[in-house]
Structures are given as C-alpha cells and as structure tokens.
Amino acid sequence: MSVSNLLENWSKFRHNHPVEDKGHPDWQAYPSEIKWAMAIDLDACTGCNACSVACYAENNLPVVGKEKYSHGQAMHWMRIERYWDEDNREFPDQGAQFLPMLCQQCEAAPCETVCPVGATNHTEDGLNSQIYNRCIGSRYCSANCPYKVRYFNWYDYPSTENVWPAPMEQQLNPDLTVRGKGVMEKCTFCKQRTYTARNNAKTEGRKIHDGDVQTACQQACPTNAISFGNLFDPESRVAKQWEQQQVELIKAEQEKDVKPGNNLRGYRIFEELRPYPSVMYLERVRENGV
Amino acid sequence: MGKDIREDIAWAQINTDVLKSLENPRKLFWVIIFVALMMFGVGVGCEVYQYQTGMGVAGLNNPNVWGLYIATFIFWIGMSHSGTLLSAILHLMHADWRKPIYRFAEAMTTFSLMTAGLFVMVHLGRLWQFYYAVPYPNERWTWPNFQSPLLWDAMAIFTYLSSSVIFLYVGSIPDFAICRDNVHPGWRKKLYTLLALGWEGTDRQWRNFRVTYLTVACFLIPLAVSVHSIVASDFAMSQQPGWHVTSFPPYFVAGALYSGCAAIITLFIILRYVFKFEEYMTMPILKKTVRLTFAIAMVWTYLNWVEFATVWYSHDEVAKGVLIDKATGRFAPFWWAMNFCGSVVPFTMMIKRLQTNIPVMFAVSLLLNLGMWLERFMIVSPTFSHGYYPWTMDANYWPSMVQWGIVFGSFGWFTLLFMTFCKIVPSVSMYEVKEMVYHRSLATKKAELGLEGGH
C-alpha cells in the first residue's frame, strides 16, 4: 500500500462544498439519486414524545435514568424541546411550544470537517454518518455542532451500566449495533430502514418510491407531523413540501425570505450558519395555550 | 542596574557550585518528591477510575463535552513557550543575560509539553484507540482526516516535543562532559559518559556544536509560534460563538509566552533558593525577566481587549451573548479574576522596588499563572454552556472531582519530572555561564586598557 493510495482514499470521503462546486451536492465517487430529507410540521406537533420513544426502541438507545438525565447525559437522538410562553399565566394554563430536534444531516456539516480520524462522513444518500468503530471520542464533532444533537456514550451502558437487564436485551433491534462506551452517536435517519428499502428496491429492479421507508419517529407520530423521503424524487411528499415552502437545500438564504409579504411557513434552523441542513420545519401558526 | 554576573568567578567555582546541585539531595527534596508522587497518584487514580467507568464520571455532558482537560491542556502547552523564547529567540538576539536561566526554562518546555500530551490522552473517550489519529498504512485503508485542526494539533505537539528534546539535549552536551569528568565512578559516570557523546572540547567539536545548536534554535522558533497558533485554530476554526475569532492565534501565542515567563520567575526563585544559585541567578537577571514578562503581559492585555472589542462591536448577537454571560453569568467570578490576575496584577512589575523583591515577585508570578489558567478555562467552558442552541444552555455546569483530580495530578507529574531533571542535568548551563564571565572580564579588561591608552 502506497502513500498515494492512502491519500486518494482519504480524499474520497470528503465530498465537495455543496454550493461552491456545482450547485448541488457532488458525489462523483458515489453517484446517487437519493437525498434523504425531512419536514416537521410544528403546527401538528403536540409534544407527545412518541417520536422520541419510538427512536429509543428502534435505535437501541440506552435509557440512562433520572440522575444521569438531569446531568445532561441523556441519549435521546430525537428530543422534544419545550419552550414556555411568556404569557403571564401559571403552569396548567401557561402556553408552551414544542420542537422535535434531531440531527439535521447537514450538507456542509460542521461536525464532519473537524473529526481527527474521519469517523463522521457524508454518505452517498446525503446523510451524515457516524462510524462507531473508528471514533476515538475526542468529541470535537459535538463541540462544533450548532444544534448539539450528537450524543456521547459517557458510560458503558450495555455492560457495566446494565441498562438492558435480562430479558430486556431480547427487545434490542438486531438491525443495528449496541454502542459501547467512549463513542459518539446520533440520529441516522433510521439508516437500517433506508438501506433495507434501497436493497429491496434494487432486488425488485425499480427505483425507490415514496412510502417505501418510514423513519421510526415518523411512523410513531400520531399527528403525522413528520414527513420523510427522497428530496430528489419530485413525487415524494417531502419534496412537495419543500417546494411548496420554497425552501431550497443548497441555499443559505431563501429567496422567499427576502421577498416582502412572505406568508410561507417553511424554515430551517441556523440556515445562516450555512450548514445546509436537511430538515425543514414548518412554523407554528395556531395560538398557544388554548 | 547592577551587573548580570560577577566577572571574577573562577571557572572551577562555577563547576563546583553547579555540580553541587546534582548531588546529595536534601531532606526537602525527598519531601517534595513524595508530595509530587502523591499528587500524581491522585491523578492516576482518577484516570484509572475514568478509564474503567467512562468519561461520564468527569462530569462532562451535552453540551459541555469539553472541560478542564482541554483548558489545562492549553495551559501546559502555553507554559512550554517561554523555554523556546529564552533559549532560542534570545539566543539569536545575543541577549546573554539569558544564559544562567535558559536551561531550566528549556526543561520546563519539554516537561510541560509532556504534561500537555497526557491531557490529550486523558480527554479521549477511547484512549485505547488513540493511534487512529496517527497516519499509518494499514489493511483497512483508514487514514486520519487532515482537515481537522485537532489532527494538526497532534502533529504540531509531537514535532515541537521531539525538537525541544533534541534542543535541550544538544545544548547540554558540553555540560554532560563536565559532569562526566567530575562525578565519582559509578552508574552516574557511565550515564554521563554515554550522554556526553565523547565530548572533548576540541575546536572542531565546538564548531559543529555551535552550528547544530543554532540550526535547531532556528528550527524551533517557527515551531513554537505554530504550535500554539494551531491550538488556537482548534477554537478559531470552529463555528462556535466566542471561539470563532480571527485574533485567536496571536492571542494564544501571547498568552503562552506570558504564562511561560511567569512560570520562569516562579522556578527562578525556587531554584535560586533551593540550590543557592545566588551568584548565577542574580537580581539584575530577575529584573530583566520581570520586565520582559511585564511587556508580554501588556501585549496579552491588548489582544484580550481587541477580542472583547471585536465581539462587542460586531453584529454577532450570539458571540456577544457569550461575552456578556462570561462577565455576568455563572463564570463571572472566574472571568473577573482572570482579568484582574492577567491585566492588573502585572502592574506591580512596573514598580522598580518590587522588581527585585523575591516574596512579592513569587506571589505575583503565581497569580499571573492562576490568571492564565483561568483564561483557558474561560475560553473553553462558557462557549459550551452558553452556545448557539438555547435549549442546551446550561447555567449550572461544574466539572466533577475526577476532572479536578487529574488537573491536580498533572502538577504533581510536572514537579516529579522537573525535580528528577534537576538532579540529573545541571539546571544552570555551566559552559554558557563561563562564556558570559569570560566576555565580561574581557570587556572590563578592554575598558581598563582603553582607559590606560587614553592617558
């Protein structure tokens, strides 16, 4: 194995900048017709936490317990954030807003460039992946993540912490790993499901259709607030929503936002930092505290 | 100002005075070694516990994924800069007052780098896989990510550490020869014989020695500047509020020289007292070091204010929020203490009477380093607990005892290395002091002759 070999290999997993190069994510190494994306309707979200629970069940997330949770060591890849309204009302009447927060699968992800060992990379279907076996736990990715959606295994949850005492280990999802201590993890857009769907489509010799795959959070949402699919497929629900809201993946500032009289609800969090996130939120319009 | 050194010290006297420091450790020496071992033991105990249980015991959490380990890492890296300043930069500038004190400063560089290196390891979640950050050809075709400032950091520190070890060693060769010729037969004599590399003091050896020493010195200066600039890049190249500051690299380098100079004053006073080096570590030299430290303190203060001003007058509300949080929030006492120790305390160094007052300068140098440690803490932690994302803002973060234990232990480790060094390598460079004395006496003689010639 020569050094030039290694250098080539290294450059392969660095994709180019989504805007400066060709105007769209450029995956010369792995051409792809898929760009997974999400839209979350905050008007429909009731803050019921079903998505979060589903995520725990699907992705083998350890339940860390009250004490560690209060120390900020929870492992919720999908978290429901609660913001109280300042409406001068007391608790049961006080209004609140909810925001489901998960990895935004940024196109120019701040976490990817800073990892010293290249454990977090971009995949050909537009996801921000995490290689647990490669991670050395420097936590630089989390330090540079504006959303703070990366979760570190502060303890050895499967063994010493025994978060799945027998027979609970029987309910672990066999499609993905159980992570040991000292590695970073985060939402994968239910990678095990998307890859199964892609393989099935490939076996059947067809392209992937909208509805072939649902993420666990999407499946569990009682109000159908979450939609997930292939942004490159104009027929998919998520692509239609993005188009309706005039939110474009590769823009740091949307044209509709500078137009006067804009009544569209779509926005992306921290768009101005130019990470080009893949999750679009739909602003809440109904009144609070009712 | 008095003379840096008396010009009538006999060369044999220099040998005996300095070699005395290598022999017969006093009781106090063993007490210090014991205390340092205990401190280091605490650190090792904490690390073993953390290694076994997981990083969670360090009290780190989301968003506070970095803590005292990184802050103290920067502190020790900073400490390493003054050695190079004294031995390499001042060497090129022919400031010969550095000669009696550069050896221990250079040792400090090496040992604080070794301490800093430990913090990189301690910080890793999977310490047992640290070699993944090293570019080595392997069957899995994995390769480190050269875009990451953390990787540059690892490379820069390793280069700086290896170069400063070479510099320290090369500079000590003539002294090892003196030791070899003077110590009693035994294992020490064998050791010095090996280390002296057959030094005989011939003209050819001196010529080669000078060239080598100068070359390594020239090589070391850009390294010293780059290593701390790269540490600064860890922060400046990230996107986080309070870190994303263009002036960070010079700010970090100034801070590094600052804390290093303060540490030189501390060690100067301790060595002078312990080894009775009054003849060599003289008051005028202390005075010059103090003045140098004061100048660097002002540079640091200026860059500090530049940073505040650029944040304050920018339209970056989030970065401004972090600055306001530093001044008024959870960390306010530490932030104000940092400003006091870093920018106000050095003004005592302006008072001429206090420049040579040993107890005052000792206290001042310790306070300056406390301020510089707080500076690093204030760079790392507030950005995490008051970052971009409001939901993760954490007003109650405090590092756990495990983190404090390892920080505490690192001082024990440094002391241990330094004390051992003092008994093996002469902490005053004998041959350079002799040169200094020789040049002085030559100058006096010339002046006398010139005076006579005038008559």
* pLDDT exceeds 80 at position B9: no
Each residue of A189-199: pLDDT tens digit? 999 999 999 88
A85 Cβ neighbours under 8 A, 6+ residues apart: A94, A95, A96, A97, A288, A289
Of B143, B155, B315, which to mutate for an interface test with A (greatest number of A Cβ within 10 Å)?
A: B143
| Alpha carbon distance B270, A159 (integer Å) | 50
Nearest to B87 by CA among B172, B180, B29, B203: B172
Instruction: Determine the pLDDT at residue B438.
Output: 84
**Residue range A101-111: mean pLDDT, rounded:** 92
Counted domains in chain B: 1
Q: Which residue of B has its CA nearest to A118?
A: B145
Binary contact (A135, B126; C-beta < 8 A): yes
B138 within a domain of the structure (yes/no) = no
CA end-to-end span of chain A, whole Å? 66
A71 contacts in chain B (CB < 8 Å): 56, 59, 61
SS3 state of residue A185:
strand
B133 contacts in chain A (CB < 8 Å): 116-117, 136
A154 contacts in chain B (CB < 8 Å): 54-56, 60-61
Each residue of B87-104: pLDDT tens digit? 788 888 877 788 888 888
Instruction: Determine the pLDDT at residue A11.
Output: 45
* pLDDT exceeds 80 at position B85: no
Q: Average pLDDT over chain B, rounded to whole?
A: 89
| Alpha carbon distance B433, B424 (integer Å) | 19
CA–CA distances in Å: residue A284 to residues A96, A225, A255, A267, B350? 11, 11, 21, 11, 61
Neighbours of A271 (CB within 10 A): 17
B269 within a domain of the structure (yes/no) = yes
* pLDDT exceeds 90 at position B183: no
Cα Rg, chain A, nearest whole Å:
20
Binary contact (B65, A134; C-beta < 8 A): no
Nearest to A100 by CA among A4, A222, A245: A222
Instruction: Determine the pLDDT at residue B203.
Output: 92
| Alpha carbon distance A157, A67 (integer Å) | 14
User: Which residues on neighbouring strands pair with residue A229, listed in sequence order?
Assistant: A37
Instruction: Determine the pLDDT at residue A17.
Output: 52
| Alpha carbon distance B298, B254 (integer Å) | 9
Instruction: Determine the pLDDT at residue B365.
Output: 94
Question: Where is pLDDT greater, at B373 or A91?
Answer: B373
Amino acid in the structure at residue B201? G
Of B119, B145, B231, B381, which to mutate for an interface test with A (greatest number of A Cβ within 10 Å)?
A: B145
B398 contact A CB<8A: no
For the A3-282 domain, the top CATH level (class) is: alpha beta
pLDDT bin (cut points 50, 70, 90) of residue B111 is very high
* pLDDT exceeds 50 at position A271: yes
The region of weakest confidence among A152-166, A218-232, B3-17 is B3-17
Instruction: Determine the pLDDT at residue A29.
Output: 43
Structure tokens at B119: 């913090």
B215 within a domain of the structure (yes/no) = yes
Window 17-56 of B: residues touching A by CB (8 A cutoff) are 53-56
| Alpha carbon distance B305, A172 (integer Å) | 54
Binary contact (B125, A134; C-beta < 8 A): no
Q: Output the pTM of the full model.
A: 0.91
User: Residue A114: which of B141, B238, B391 has the nearest Cβ?
Assistant: B238
Q: Residue B46: give its domain's CATH number.
A: 1.20.1630.10
* pLDDT exceeds 70 at position A7: no
SS3 state of residue A160:
coil
* pLDDT exceeds 50 at position A270: yes
B159 within a domain of the structure (yes/no) = yes
B240 contact A CB<8A: yes
* pLDDT exceeds 60 at position B69: yes
Question: Where is pLDDT greater, at B140 or A38?
Answer: A38
**Residue range B381-406: mean pLDDT, rounded:** 90
Instruction: Determine the pLDDT at residue A290.
Output: 44
pLDDT bin (cut points 50, 70, 90) of residue A31 is low
| Alpha carbon distance A116, A139 (integer Å) | 10
**Residue range A220-234: mean pLDDT, rounded:** 94
Each residue of A84-102: pLDDT tens digit? 888 888 888 888 889 999 9
Binary contact (B54, A154; C-beta < 8 A): yes
Binary contact (A110, B60; C-beta < 8 A): no
CA–CA distances in Å: residue A248 to residues A17, A37, A108, A251, A269? 16, 11, 14, 6, 13
Instruction: Determine the pLDDT at residue A91.
Output: 83
pLDDT bin (cut points 50, 70, 90) of residue B368 is very high
CA–CA distances in Å: residue A280 to residues A41, A104, A286, B28, B85? 9, 9, 18, 67, 53
Each residue of B318-364: pLDDT tens digit? 999 999 999 998 899 999 999 999 999 999 999 888 888 899 999 99
B450 within a domain of the structure (yes/no) = no
Structure tokens at B164: 């400063």
Instruction: Determine the pLDDT at residue A89.
Output: 85
Contact A81, B391 (CB under 8 A): yes
Instruction: Determine the pLDDT at residue A274.
Output: 87
> DSSP alpha helices (H): ranges in A185-250?
191-203, 216-220, 237-244
The region of weakest confidence among A42-46, A252-256, B157-161 is A252-256
B3 within a domain of the structure (yes/no) = no
pLDDT bin (cut points 50, 70, 90) of residue A285 is confident
Instruction: Determine the pLDDT at residue B14.
Output: 82
A205: left (phi over 0), alpha (psi -120 to 50) or beta: left
Window 366-385 of B: residues touching A by CB (8 A cutoff) are 384
Structure tokens at B51: 């290694």
User: Residue B133: which of A10, A117, A156 has the nearest Cβ?
Assistant: A117
User: Residue A71: which of B61, B127, B132 has the nearest Cβ?
Assistant: B61
**Residue range B406-435: mean pLDDT, rounded:** 90
Instruction: Determine the pLDDT at residue A245.
Output: 92
Question: Where is pLDDT greater, at B245 or A17?
Answer: B245
Of A17, A78, A140, A153, which to mutate for an interface test with B (greatest number of B Cβ within 10 Å)?
A: A140
Q: Which residue of A has its CA nearest to B127?
A: A136
Instruction: Determine the pLDDT at residue B262.
Output: 92
* pLDDT exceeds 90 at position B413: yes
CA–CA distances in Å: residue A41 to residues A62, A210, A228, A250, B34? 27, 18, 12, 21, 64
* pLDDT exceeds 90 at position A6: no
A10 contacts in chain B (CB < 8 Å): 143, 145-146
B449 within a domain of the structure (yes/no) = no
Query: Per residue in B354-366, is it b (16+ CB within 10 Å) or e — as a string?
Result: ebbbeeebbebbb
B298 within a domain of the structure (yes/no) = yes
**Residue range B397-409: mean pLDDT, rounded:** 93
Domain boundaries, chain A: 3-282
**Residue range B115-137: mean pLDDT, rounded:** 91
Shortest CA gap A42–chain B (Å): 16
> Which residues constitute the domain of residue B17?
11-127+144-390+402-439
**Residue range B25-38: mean pLDDT, rounded:** 90
* pLDDT exceeds 50 at position B74: yes
Of A4, A14, A121, A136, which to mutate for an interface test with B (greatest number of B Cβ within 10 Å)?
A: A136
Instruction: Determine the pLDDT at residue A227.
Output: 95
Cα Rg, chain B, nearest whole Å:
24
The region of weakest confidence among A25-39, A188-202, A220-234, B180-194 is A25-39
